[in-house]
Amino acid sequence: MRILLVKPQAHLQTVLGLQRFQCLEPLEFGYLAAAIPREHEIRVLDLRLYRLADSAFEREL
């Protein structure tokens, strides 16, 4: 099975302000990926890193 884990862009004004100072890696995906059996293909897409997040998401699908 192919699994795509997606971290969406933030839309709350408070979170957007904080992201100007720090952008932490999505650690929750590491925990999820570790629990999934090895025979599955896992990919992580962090949409916070893309200027055109919608098109990046569509490309990955």
pLDDT, mean over the chain = 78
pLDDT at 38 exceeding the cut of 60 = yes
Report the pLDDT value the prediction gives residue 35, as an integer from 0 to 100: 92
Task: Give the percent of the chain with pLDDT over 90.
Answer: 10
Report the pLDDT value the prediction gives residue 1, as an integer from 0 to 100: 92
Rounded CA gap, 20 and 2, in Å?
Answer: 33
pTM: 0.64
Q: How many domains is the chain partitioned into structurally? A: 1
Rounded CA gap, 6 and 42, in Å?
Answer: 11
Give the containing element (helix H, strand E) for 5: strand 2-7
Range of the domain at 11: 2-60
